[in-house]
Structure 1
Amino acid sequence: MFRARDAARVLACATLVLGACSPAKDPAAVSDAAMNSRWTRAGDAAGPGQWSGADGTSSVRLPDGRVAWFFSDTYLGPVNPDGSRSGAGFVRNSLVVQDGDRLTTVPADTPVRPPLGTPGWYWAGAGHVEGGKLVEFYHRLNGSGADFDFTEQGVALATFSLPGLRLESVRELPQAWPAPARTPVMWGAALFDEGSWTYVYGYRGHLDRLDRPKWLYVARAPRGHVTDVPSWRYDTGTGWSADPSRAAELPTPVDSGFGMARVGDGYALVTRRPSADLGDGAMIAYLAGSPAGPFREADSAVIYRAPEVSSGWFVYQARVHPELGGHGRIVMSYNVNTTLVDGQCVPQNLRQASVYRPRFVSVPLGVFRRGYAAPPARGVTVGPGWFRTCPRL
Structure 2
Amino acid sequence: MSKAPMIRTTTVAALLLAVAPLWALPRAAPSGRVAECAGRRIASWSVDSGHTAEFARYGDVNARMNDWTGGDGTHSVRLPDGRTVWLFSDTFLDRIQPPPNPQGQKRRWRTADTGGVPLLRHNSAAVMSRSGRPVRTLTGGTAAASGPFFPGSWRFRDGAHWRRQAGRAGPVLRAGGRRGVGSAFTVVRDGPAWVLITMDTGGDGAAGIRASTSYWSCSPHGPWHGPDGRLTPPRPPAPDPQHVAVYNPQIHPEFTANREFLLSYDVNWLGPPGVPADPRVNGDVELYRPRFLRVRMGPAGR
Q: CA deviation at 1:301?
A: 1.8
Q: 1:243 to 1:77 in 2, by over 3 A?
A: closer
- 2:161 corresponds in structure 1 to 239
Aligned partner letter, 1:282: A
Deviations along 1:189-247, one digit per CA (max 9) or x if unpaired, are xxxxxxxxxxxxxxxxxxxxxxxxxxxxxxxxxxxxxx2x2x43321222323455543
Task: Map 1:294-373 onto structure 2 (within 5 A).
Answer: 294-296=223-225, 299-308=226-235, 311-312=241-242, 313-339=244-270, 343=275, 347-366=279-298, 369-371=299-301
Q: How do 1:118-157 residues align onto structure 2 when only pairs under 5 Å count?
A: 120-121=143-144, 154-156=147-149
Task: Give the AA of the match of 2:259.
Answer: G
How far is the alpha carbon of 1:272 from its aligned partner? 1.3
Name 1:248's counterpart in structure 2: 170
Residue in structure 1 matched with residue 191 of structure 2 by the alignment: 264
Letter in 2 for 1:97: V
* TM value normalised by structure 2: 0.69
1:40 paired with 2:56, answer yes
**Distance in 2 between residues matched to 1:352 and 1:244, nearest whole Å:** 39
Q: 1:233 to 1:94 in 2, by over 3 A?
A: closer
Distance 1:268 1:344, change over 3 A: closer
Superposed CA deviations along residues 346-377 of structure 1, whole A, max 9, x for unmatched, are 521111111210011100123xx3246xxxxx
AA matched with 1:258: F
Instruction: Identify the residue that residue 287 of structure 1 maps to in structure 2.
Output: 216
Give me the whole-angstrom Cα distance separating, in 1, the residues matched to 2:253 and 2:85.
Answer: 13
What is the letter of the counterpart of residue 282 of structure 2?
L
TM-superposed CA distance for 1:303, in Å, is 4.2
**Number of matched pairs:** 234
Alpha-carbon shift at residue 335 of structure 1 (Å): 0.7
Give the aligned partner of residue 74 of structure 1: 91
CA contact (8 A) 1:340 1:348 kept: no
TM-score (ref. length: structure 1): 0.54
* Residue 92 of structure 1: how far off its partner (Å): 1.1
Confirm or deny: 8 A CA contact 1:266 1:287 kept in the other structure. yes
- The match for 2:121 among 84, 91, 94 is 91
The 1:27–1:254 alpha-carbon spacing in structure 2 relative to 1, beyond 3 Å, is: closer
Tell me the secondary structure at the aligned position of residue 290 of structure 1: coil
- Separation in structure 2 between the aligned mates of residue 300 and residue 102 of structure 1, nearest angstrom: 35
Contact 2:43 2:229 in 1 (8 A): no
> What amino acid is the match of 1:349?
V
Cα distance in structure 1, aligned partners of 2:165 and 2:51: 42
After TM superposition, the structure 1 stretch with the greater mean CA deviation from structure 2, 57-66 or 343-352, is 343-352
Residue 295 of structure 1 and its aligned partner are, at CA, apart by 2.0
- With 280-289 and 241-250 compared, the bigger mean Cα shift is at 241-250
Q: What letter matches 1:61 in structure 2?
A: R
8 A Cα contact 1:340 1:346, kept in partner = no
Identify unmatched segments of 5+ residues in structure 1.
1-25, 114-119, 123-139, 141-153, 157-172, 174-226, 373-393
Contact 2:198 2:214 in 1 (8 A): yes
- Encode CA deviations 1:294-321: one digit per residue, 9 max, x unaligned: 223xx33234212329822011111110
Which residue of structure 2 lines up, in the alignment, with residue 53 of structure 1? Answer: 70
Mapped contact 1:281–1:305 kept (Cα < 8 A) = yes
CA distance in 2, matches of 1:261, 1:255: 17
Q: Distance in 2 between matches of 1:344 and 1:241?
A: 41
Conserved 8 A contact 1:52-1:79: yes
Shift of 1:50: 0.9
What is the CA deviation profile of residues 169-189 of structure 1, one whole-angstrom value per residue up to 9, with x for unaligned ones? Answer: xxxx5xxxxxxxxxxxxxxxx
Query: Residue 293 and residue 78 in structure 1: after superposition, are their counterparts in 2 closer, same or farther (change >3 A)?
Result: same
Cα distance in 2 for residues equivalent to 1:267 and 1:339: 32
Change (3 A) 1:66 1:51: same
Corresponding residue number in structure 2 for 1:219:
none
Taking the aligned partners of 1:353 and 1:363, their CA distance within structure 2 comes to 25
